[in-house]
Structures are given as structure tokens and as C-alpha cells.
Structure 1
């Protein structure tokens, strides 16, 4: 776990710095600089691009990680990488031809409720392609166990670019419409930076000789396209579907609430950057016991860290919304609902990495398709009835069922178990901390209130987990910090 802890800590720090910048964007600059309508439009474009990018990438960012360890010579690796870089074109080219010929029909359908969407639908696949190739180059550095810079580009640099353009809107150097159009350039720039770094880590050379297992690569990529699309759909289909039923301003309110709740998933995102290739390697080598040990360690560590973030958000949520325009206050229920779903997904550890690198990935895919249909149906039912709260409920039910299904599949089919009695202890600590701090606030300014409560929550939560030794890895990190502060 040495390299996992080391790079996970760096990735976590980077990701949280990115979320601080993202918070400034999502909670202040977007609402005040762009306004509700254009913030909603931005959220719709980016969410829709995120839904379709696994399709446009042909799933090869996951394929690259799974198959890379099977190649031994530089020539084989070069041939494999060339193949996976070309594969997405099999999807991109037909989609662009079809999209160009039928743009008016597609754009009209997407703008049925909100006419402003019509002129911007074409940007969705462009940004999706940039997202897709970014992940491919990011996967290339991950398999060389160099994930930190990729996290920096994805979590910090991208948000800094967006902040710069938002300030340009504020100072009237560009219009809000120019900002919307600039999103494509921002994502393209991030992709190019990732490409340059990938070349630095291990130079990409092109070899157009077909890999020996090209059929297996294509089959796996096809199924991963659908798996990745399902996972992204469950995350972002709600914002895409909100556009079809209610005014686009509601996407702005929903986006703020989702951003707040998504902070809970940061530890998972950071750790998975390095555990994914390690999981693939352990599975390739058939090391079941080591894999099971990694599964348990990632689960309890993420539960503790993610639990601290969750309780910190929930006990401060009312004060946080006092800092936002009044129209955004309806998102508090969304934060609670999505936060709980993120927490449940978080405590599954490296579950996704295990499934995607196992021989059972096809079976789980069909289950995912069923749940994706379920998610769309629930959104169609709940959004007209309850608005953004309905979208949150649909997401909670869908993600919970999908996560539970994946958990049971790994337990039953692969005999891997993420939980232990310490899982219940950690859950008890989280619940007690929430009940202790949620129902009172300091009679101060909201910002000061949030800071003081967060400090108290952190001290109590970390102290109890540390003393009870819920996670050896967590204690190792805390002990290291205490040593640097000369407290032990």
C-alpha cells in the first residue's frame, strides 16, 4: 500500500485544492457572473458531454489499463497503444456524419423546453471527444504509476482555466456567450497538456501492426463503452433530463447542490487513480488474497475520509446556503440525498476496478443497462412531479441499486469482501458526530460558523477514529502528520 498511500495523498490534496477552486466557480462566480440561465446552460452542456464521452472514447481508457500489463516488449506496447488511439474514430466519425445531417432535428428535440439550448447542442460532442482523449492519455500515465500530474490537470488546471474566463466575463472583457463557446477551447487545451505529459512519461510511438489479441480488445472495449456510459449516465443524466422538463435555471440550482455533494467522492477519485492499475495487475497475476486485502483497506479508508467530508458538509449545509442567492436554497434536500448516495458508493472501495478487470464484466453490464433504464424512467416520473428534488430521488435510488448489485456480484462470484465489524464502528462514529453537531449553530457570521464547526467536527471525528484504530492506513497518515507537527 506504500505507493497507493503516497500517490493517493498527493492526489487527494490536489483534488481538494481543485475543489476549492471549483467551489469558488460553482458557488460564487457562476451564480453571480453568469446568472442562472447561462449557468444552467453550462451545466447542461458539460453534463451531456460527460454522459457521451465513454462512447466517443470507445471505452479504451479502461481497456488500456486492463491489457497493458499483458505486453512485454516496447514493440507490442506501441502496437497496442496505436490500436486503442485509433479505435475511438470508429465511433466518432459516424456520429459526426450523422449529427451533421440531422442536427436540426436533434437540436430541436433538446431545446423543446429551453430554446436557448438549440445553438449549443453541437458543442456537446466536441467537448465529449476532448474528455475522451484526455482520459486515454491519462490512462497511459496511470499504467506507468504516474497519476499525480494528471490529477493536477484534471482537478486544478482545468478549473483555473474556467476561473480565468469567468473573471473575463466579470470585467466585461468577453460576453457570457463567448464564455460558453470558450468551453471547447478550455477542454481542448487540457487534453493537449495531458498529451504532452504522456509523451514525457513514456514516449508514444505509433506502430500500426495489429495487436495479437485485437479481437479481445475490441470486445472488451465494446462492453466497457456501455459500462462507462451507464456509470456516467447515472451521474449526469439527471441534469440532462432536467432540461427536457423544467426551466434551465433549475439546472443551475441543481448543479450547485450536486457540486457540494460531489466533494464527498473526492477521496475515492484520488485513490482510484493509483489503485485501478494495481488492481488490474493483481488480477492478472491471480493474487486473490492480496486483492481481497486491498479491497478491505480501500473500503474502510475511504469510509473514514469520505465520512468526515459528508458529516462536515451536512452539519454546515444551512449556513453554506446563506452565502448563496436565495433562489438556490431549494437545493438543500438535493445535497442530503445525493450525499448519501455518494457515501454508499464510496465505501465500496475499488469495487469498480475489480469488476472491470474481471471475467464477469459482461454480466454486470447487462445489469447496469437495466438500472440505466430504471434511472431514466424514474427521472421521467419524478422530475415533472418534484422538480430538482425528484431528480435527486431518482439518482439516489438508481445509484444505490447499482452499487448494491455490483457489491453482491463481487461477493458472490469472486469471494471478495470489503466490509468488516469496523465498517459498523465507522458508521456509528459518523452518525453520532452528525447528531451532535447538526442541530445547533454558533450565533456568528455563516463563514465563521462553518469554520468553527468544521474544526470541532474534524478534531472529534479524527480523534475517535484514530483512538479506535478503525483503519491502520488512516492512523499511519494521521500519525505522520502529528509527527511533523511535533505532537507525538
Structure 2
């Protein structure tokens, strides 16, 4: 897992730099310069632009499975990028038509709060376009075994620019109306930057090569795109439909509270997101070369490594939940258990490793689409039942339940079809370790100084959880990483 480990570490490093920037913007500045309604507006615009950008590519991202057949740097990968843009621009035109005719259904203008969404609704068009183009180019960059560039631009650069826009509000340099246009512009800048980077590398070519695409390959691409619409859209529906339904049920204020809590909860998923980016290409190559042992190894290691990393982050956040909400205005207090259930959902997903990547890149990729279609139905039903009963916490419970069903289905499919079983005694041992550490840390009385209290709890969790994981050798990769760092920085490099 040399390439995977290296790219994952780099991606996670930049992701956490982005988290640091995001902390200042989302938790220290945004709640104090924007009302919950305005936070909800930004959350909805982000939600819909991400979802519509994914739909606009018409499932083309699923063709990453056959990119190894296109790969030819001297011939600009036989027109792969040009084909991606041809299909995606066609999808974007269809989206624009749908956005015009479905505006009333999307906005759901039932109360005065949603008038704000109606006012800025048309920002969805440019926001969706720039998100779509960025996603296409990031996918292409990942196919070149470079996941770091996309991570830097999406997780770090974009958040840094958004922080700058919020600072303009903080110092009263702009009003909210002007801020929304500045926010739109800064969200388009990473797209321009990735275009420039690929151009400098001589990797940006929109030339089409229809002669290369013979009938069998064309048929496979059509099938992949068809099923990829479901496969690619499902995760975004699972993660974002709740905000739409909360807005419809309760309005933008509750949407803003949920959006902020959800953002905190998604921090837990960062290690997994970095891993998914690079393993897609590696596993697709392994299937092509019929290297089943490599796939089994990646599957097994991804499960335990992701579980350890996400459980560590979950402990850091949940043990300090009272300190996190000490910073925020009281209007956001109802979001605490949203963080808990969103965190549980991502823990479940992380513990099952790269199961979705394995299915999506195999010859059974259609089944990932079937799972996706079923899980969209489960998500909608769960939200319809739980949101009216439990409010925004119900939406988080629905998300956790959906992720459990989704990943259990994938796990059983891989077990039955490929005979791959990634778990060992280390899996329950890791969970028991996490529970024990939380019980110990939670027993400590809170300090009146929330900063000191946060530092103490974070330090104890790091020492107890990481120390125990290292001592029990729960992950060979993590132990080797720690040993290498210790040799490099504490003992000097050995020759």
C-alpha cells in the first residue's frame, strides 16, 4: 500500500489544515456574523450545487473503472477528458432547464425564511457549473495518481478563501448581499486553479478521439454511465436530502443549526475520504490485472486503519462536545446529538473500509447501483418518519441508520460473491479500547476554563487511545508509520 499510504497521509494532512481553517470560519466567525437562517441558506446552496453537479455529469465518474484502458499520456489519454466534458456539459444544460421549471418545488416557499433562499436561488447555476467542472478535473487528476492537488484546493484553499470572505463581514466591509456574491466568487476560484495546474502539466486536453472508442468499449461506457447516475448520486442524496427535508418541515433556522452540527460531524470522515480518492484508481488497476490478493490486502487494511482513525476523531469531538458548544451561540444548542449520530454513521462506514470501491470497480458494478437505488428509498422513508418525530436529531439518526444498511449490504455482497472477509479480533478490540478511553476521560470533572478542559481531554485521549493502539499493534501500518517518524525525528535516520 505504498502509493495509497503516501497519498492518504498527504491528503489527510491537507484535510486537517482545512479543518483548522474551517474551525475558525464555521465555529468562531460564521455563527457570530451570520444568523442561523443565513447559515441555512449557505448550507442549502452548497447542498444543491453538490447534488446537481453530481447529477450533471450523467454518471461519467463511474467510467473511472475503465480509465486504465484509456491511459496513454502521449495521446492525452485517448480523449478521456474531452469525452467527460462533452457528456457533463450536456447534463448541465439539462440541469439548467430543470432548475427553471422546478424552482417552486425546490425552494418550497412556505414561510418568510425561505424567501431568502428564493432571493439567491439563481446562484445555483454558476455554483453548480464550477462544482461540476472541478469534480471532473479532480477525477481526472486522481486517475493520474494525484489526489493531493484536489484535496489541497477543496479542503484547504477553498476554506481559506471562504474564511477571507467571512472576515470581510466581521470587519463590516461588506453587507450580506455583497458577501453572497463574494462567497460565490471564492467558491469558483479552486476550479480556475485546477484548470491552470493541469494546463501547466500539459494534461488539459479537450480533444475527442471517437476512433479509439470501439463498440464494446462504447457499450461499457454507456452501461457505466447509466448505473453510475445512481451510484454517484446516492451518497450525495444520503448526505444532503435531510437538509432539504428539514428546510421544508421547519425552515432555514433549523437548517442552519443542522448544517453547522453536520459539518462538525463530517470531520470524522476525513481519513476515509482521503483513502477513497486514491484506492479507486489502484483497485481498478488491480481488477484489470486480476490481482485479487492486492484487493484483499487493501480491503482488510482499510477497515482497521479507518476504524482507528475515525474512532480517535470521534472520541476527541464527543468528549469535548460541551466545550465545542460553549463557543457557539445558544441558538445552536439543539444540534449536539446531531453530531453524535452523524459520527456514529461515519464510524460504521469507516469500519467497513473501501467496500463500495471494490464493488463499483468490479464486473459486478451494477449491483452498487442497485444498492444505491434501494438506499435512496430507505433514506427518504427514514427521514420522513424520524424528522417529524425528533426534529433535526431525527435526520441524523436516519443518516446513521442508512449508512448501517448501505454498508452492511455491501459487506455481505463482497463476502458472498468475492469470499473476502476483512475483520479480525482487532476490530472489536479497537471498539472496546475506544469505549474504555471515553469512560475514563468522561469521568474527569469539567474545568471552568473550557480551553484548559479541552486541552486536557484531548491530551488524555491521544495518550490513552493512541498508546493502547500502538501497544496492542491494532494496525501494522500505523505502527510502522509511528516507528518511521520516531526513527526520523527522535533518533535520526539510520543508514
How would you bin the TM-score normalised by the shorter chain?
A: over 0.9
Query: CA contact under 8 A between 2:162 and 2:187: conserved in structure 1?
Result: no
Alignment of 1:227-306 (within 5 A): 227-306=231-310
The corresponding residue for 1:404 is: 408
Change (3 A) 1:122 1:72: closer
Moved more, 411-420 or 37-46: 411-420
Query: CA contact under 8 A between 2:247 and 2:255: conserved in structure 1?
Result: yes
Query: CA contact under 8 A between 1:51 and 1:237: conserved in structure 2?
Result: no
Q: Secondary structure at the match of 1:441?
A: coil
Query: CA contact under 8 A between 2:473 and 2:479: conserved in structure 1?
Result: yes
The corresponding residue for 2:2 is: 2
State the alpha-carbon separation in 2 of the partners of residues 149 and 443 from structure 1.
41
State the alpha-carbon separation in 1 of the partners of residues 76 and 218 from structure 2.
12
Output the TM-score relative to the length of structure 2.
0.94
Q: Secondary structure at the match of 2:319?
A: helix
Q: Secondary structure at the match of 1:70?
A: helix
Query: CA contact under 8 A between 1:56 and 1:132: conserved in structure 2?
Result: yes
State the alpha-carbon separation in 1 of the partners of residues 419 and 199 from structure 2.
39
State the alpha-carbon separation in 2 of the partners of residues 151 and 419 from structure 1.
29
The corresponding residue for 2:380 is: 376
State the alpha-carbon separation in 2 of the partners of residues 424 and 382 from structure 1.
30
1:76 Cα shift?
A: 7.1
State the alpha-carbon separation in 2 of the partners of residues 444 and 484 from structure 1.
39
Alignment of 1:130-149 (within 5 A): 130-149=130-149
Query: CA contact under 8 A between 1:59 and 1:224: conserved in structure 2?
Result: yes
Alignment of 1:27-42 (within 5 A): 27-42=27-42
Q: 2:346 aligns with which of 323, 342, 364?
A: 342
Change (3 A) 1:344 1:125: farther
1:315 Cα shift?
A: 1.0
Query: CA contact under 8 A between 1:257 and 1:331: conserved in structure 2?
Result: yes
Change (3 A) 1:181 1:306: same
State the alpha-carbon separation in 1 of the partners of residues 103 and 301 from structure 2.
51
1:57 Cα shift?
A: 2.0
State the alpha-carbon separation in 1 of the partners of residues 61 and 109 from structure 2.
29
Q: Deviation string for 1:399-425 (max 9, x for gaps)?
A: 211111111112211222221111111
2:116 is the counterpart of 1:116: yes
Q: Deviation string for 1:112-137 (max 9, x for gaps)?
A: 67222112222234322322221211
Aligned residues: 486
State the alpha-carbon separation in 1 of the partners of residues 433 and 246 from structure 2.
36
Alignment of 1:134-173 (within 5 A): 134-173=134-173
Moved more, 83-92 or 11-20: 83-92
Query: CA contact under 8 A between 2:108 and 2:114: conserved in structure 1?
Result: no
Change (3 A) 1:317 1:107: closer
Q: Deviation string for 1:77-117 (max 9, x for gaps)?
A: 232221122111222112213433x2653455355672221
Moved more, 399-408 or 377-386: 377-386
Output the TM-score relative to the length of structure 1.
0.95
Q: 1:474 aligns with which of 478, 488, 495?
A: 478
Moved more, 155-164 or 425-434: 425-434
State the alpha-carbon separation in 2 of the partners of residues 297 and 378 from structure 1.
32
The corresponding residue for 1:328 is: 332
2:100 is the counterpart of 1:67: no
Query: CA contact under 8 A between 2:195 and 2:204: conserved in structure 1?
Result: no
The corresponding residue for 1:44 is: 44
Structure 1 segments unaligned to the other structure (5+ residues): none
Q: Deviation string for 1:336-370 (max 9, x for gaps)?
A: 11110011101121222112111222123123212
State the alpha-carbon separation in 2 of the partners of residues 405 and 168 from structure 1.
47
State the alpha-carbon separation in 1 of the partners of residues 188 and 127 from structure 2.
8
1:250 Cα shift?
A: 1.2
Q: Deviation string for 1:28-86 (max 9, x for gaps)?
A: 211111121111111111112222221112232342x3222113544372322211221
The corresponding residue for 1:185 is: 185
State the alpha-carbon separation in 2 of the partners of residues 108 and 164 from structure 1.
28
The corresponding residue for 1:354 is: 358
1:316 Cα shift?
A: 1.0
Change (3 A) 1:53 1:460: same
Change (3 A) 1:61 1:427: same
Query: CA contact under 8 A between 2:62 and 2:224: conserved in structure 1?
Result: no
State the alpha-carbon separation in 2 of the partners of residues 230 and 297 from structure 1.
25
